[in-house]
């Protein structure tokens, strides 16, 4: 029962480096999401994809890009990492937006 798989689980980047966070789900879900979670801030939506081939900005999209590669995969890219992007990143998926969302285990990213 893989569900939603995120990689990597931990990452340390230097300021200015780039990286891609990978997310894959095996539940044939249409909707996928990327969130970041900072202390005291709850989960903030970065980008979401309501269906294969579509992506939309969430609350905090600046500094990020996404790709919905196919129905299973939704990646998040940091082109030039900044210390303000130090956070825990969660990927999630749901069949439709109004049904239960399942989350990956998170990626703990530190930018130094």
Partner 1 sequence: RKEVEQDPGPFNVPEGATVAFNCTYSNSASQSFFWYRQDCRKEPKLLMSVYSSGNEDGRFTAQLNRASQYISLLIRDSKLSDSATYLCVVWYRGKLIFGQGTELSVKP
Residues that bind partner 1 (CB under 8 A): 31, 33, 35, 37, 40-45, 48, 50, 56, 58-59, 88, 90, 92, 94, 97-98, 100-101, 103-106
Residue 18 CB, nearest approach to partner 1 (Å): 25
Q: Give every CB contact of residue 61 below 8 A, 6+ residues apart in sequence.
A: 46, 47
Residue 38 CB, nearest approach to partner 1 (Å): 10
* CB-nearer residue toward partner 1: 59 or 79: 59
What burial class does residue 10 get, using C-beta atoms within 10 Å of its C-beta: 0-12 exposed, 13-18 middle, 19+ buried?
exposed
Q: How far apart are CA 87 and CA 4, in angstroms?
A: 19
């Amino acid at each position: 029962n893989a569900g939603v798989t995120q990689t990597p689980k931990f990452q340390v980047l230097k300021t200015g480096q780039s990286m891609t966070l990978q997310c894959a789900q095996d539940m044939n879900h249409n909707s996928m999401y990327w969130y970041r979670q900072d202390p005291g801030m709850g989960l903030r939506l970065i980008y979401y994809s309501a269906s294969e081939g579509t992506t939309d900005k969430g609350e905090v999209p600046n500094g990020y890009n996404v790709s919905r590669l196919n129905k299973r995969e939704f990646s998040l890219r940091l082109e030039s990492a900044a210390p303000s992007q130090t956070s825990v990143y969660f990927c999630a998926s749901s069949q439709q937006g109004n049904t239960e969302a399942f989350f990956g285990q998170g990626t703990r990213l530190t930018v130094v």
